[in-house]
Structure 1
């Protein structure tokens, strides 16, 4: 009986570990600040890692290979007692079907990150209430944003519920003393970002995420030319954003920050496709002119 109990305990532990959604690495870079006690940063690093990786963020069951691989890099630029200011870089990726390749989903920086933290304090998050310290709120916001983005690559608009949770977190933070949440803080604020993600005008971009990954990349091992056609054709639909007031449409910038190098590799060699590469170049250059040197080198 004792062996049976031990086996059940092991199985329960294994299930609880594999049930969580993230396999995240948290790094706190404090090289820019002078401090007599640097241990607090190491404690923060571990606490946030545990917070992200052991919290059950959804009702879904994630197998080990389904976990979202992520990097959260916090660069501390100012410290005053228990108040910290800095930047937060978020990177996530997901595996491509029937391959050893991982495709980047997110790779961007939030430059407006400030929070309160006392060493060894318990990190508590309530999706219905602001914490008054901003730390877990910002991290949880991006956790749900990352969950939504990942889900959108597997199912058309599959991340909507996660995005709505992120939107609620942003609404909870509105009117607090912490900047970076409200639309008055600019188009890159968390509130602006998530509101734009959920706008009907973003459906084109969300469809691109699905077509690019599920119909394109995930089919690459089966038929490379057909997969490249799917990716190229869906990139061309981004022409929707060439007209209208989309010059500062941050969700589109986030797409290019994560995907520019990958697009270059996809259309840099390998099997020929039948896409209209001239039209694709024109669309991408119009939307992301800072990467024109990359787009100019694309080929079928």
Structure 2
């Protein structure tokens, strides 16, 4: 858990509010498209970076050290005129108090990203209607999801207003039948499913766990005595037992485990766990994250 971050963390420690804008990097990879004008993809990369970082998503003016660090990686697989098919990887991190560590907030892969783009066109977002081209709609959806995740990690349920913005974008996307990834039927792991699950009252325990895990747990984990912070994280994770019979169909839950599995493993991969019954957590993790059993959970002592 040793990642170096910039001086902004020291300044961040004096800011008691949570971040609400993004500081994003963007990569566009078009190596699969042979013979295409690579300059157009560089223009797309710059346009998306400027769009994400320069749009006022929350109406607040923040310094860079206050913003949510994120990454959007776009791998384009098909091109037909001005229409493209791609995979989008979305990642975001959160600084942890009293440390140089950045905790992953979100790590997902959207494989159903089709869009239309003309080189150097202006990217302007209107939350009230679908753009018709799907590019800024998908990107804006994930921007609001990131803002929601970040806010939830600093204050219980504080991300609701941003998740509701994402839901509105999803509803606009569902109103058309041109692009995949928005439909509520026949498209498992789609954007509309994700935002419905996040805002579903049945998932309030996961959102509560998300807050406790970060704010009361991780933010105290780098104190000299880690015992209390580890117990908070342990107890928060054990609350997820209520999902052990339903996690398989839940996209939101799956993203949580995908994003946090390495971190959870590292936190408790030591002989200094303050008397916690790691066997109980191990059994739960093997149940709700079975794909990590051999590489992670079975390695806990």
What's the TM-score once normalised by structure 2's chain length? 0.90
- Decide which of 236, 239, 248 is 1:237's aligned counterpart: 239
CA apart distance, 1:163? 0.3
- d(CA) in 2 for partners of 1:185, 1:57: 31
Partner of 1:288: 289
Query: Cα deviation per residue 1:61-106 (whole Å; 9 max; x = unaligned)?
Result: 4332221111100000000110000100011001001111101111
Change (3 A) 1:187 1:275: farther
Distance, in Å, in 1 between the alignment partners of 2:134 and 2:125 is 10
Pairs aligned (count)? 280
5+ long unaligned stretches in structure 1: 1-18
Query: Which residue does the alignment assign to 1:121?
Result: 121
Unpaired runs of at least 5, structure 2? 1-18
Matched residue, 2:145 = 145
Contact 2:20 2:151 in 1 (8 A): no
- Is contact 2:234–2:281 with CA below 8 Å preserved after alignment? yes
In the TM superposition, what are the counterparts of 1:6-17 in structure 2 within 5 Å?
none
Contact 2:174–2:182 (Cα < 8 Å) also in 1: yes
Q: CA deviation at 1:272?
A: 2.5
Inter-partner Cα distance in structure 1 for 2:104 and 2:218: 12
Deviation readout 1:242-278 (Å, 9 max, x if unpaired):
13x3321111111111111111111112633232211
Name the stretch that deviates more: 213-222 or 71-80: 213-222
Superimposed CA distance per residue, residues 20-57 of structure 1 (whole angstroms, 9 cap, x where no aligned partner): 81111000000111133111100000000000011110
Q: Which has the higher contact order (CA 8 A, sep 6+)?
A: 2
Counterparts of 1:126-137 in structure 2, within 5 Å, are 126-137=126-137
Equivalent residue, structure 1, for 2:48: 48
Cross-structure match for 2:62: 62
The alpha-carbon deviation at position 225 of structure 1 amounts to: 1.1
How far apart are the structure 2 equivalents of 1:273 and 1:59?
A: 44
Greater shift in the superposed pair: 129-138 or 187-196: 187-196
Deviation at 1:185, TM superposition (A): 4.1
Deviation at 1:193, TM superposition (A): 0.5
1:187-198 aligned at under 5 Å gives the runs: 187-198=188-199
Report if the CA contact (8 A) 1:20-1:61 is conserved.
Answer: no
1:17-56 paired onto structure 2 within 5 Å: 21-56=21-56
Match of 2:163 in 1: 163
Distance in 2 (CA, whole Å) between partners of 1:183 and 1:141 is 16
When the two chains are superposed, the root-mean-square deviation of aligned CA atoms in Å is 1.5
Q: Alpha-carbon deviations, 1:1-34, whole Å to 9, x = none?
A: xxxxxxxxxxxxxxxxxx9811110000001111
Q: Distance in 1 between matches of 2:56 and 2:117?
A: 22
Matches of 1:20 and 1:49 in 2, distance apart?
A: 17
Aligned mates of 1:94, 1:193 — CA distance in 2: 21
Q: Normalising by the residue count of structure 1, what TM-score does the alignment of the two structures yield?
A: 0.90
Cα distance in 2, alignment partners of residues 149 and 119 from structure 1: 32
Determine which structure has more spread, i.e. the larger CA radius of gyration: 1
Partner of 1:204: 205
Cα-to-partner distance string for 1:196-234 (whole Å, 9 max, x where unaligned): 110011111101111111000001123311111111111
> 1:266 is matched with which residue?
267
Aligned twin of 2:7: none
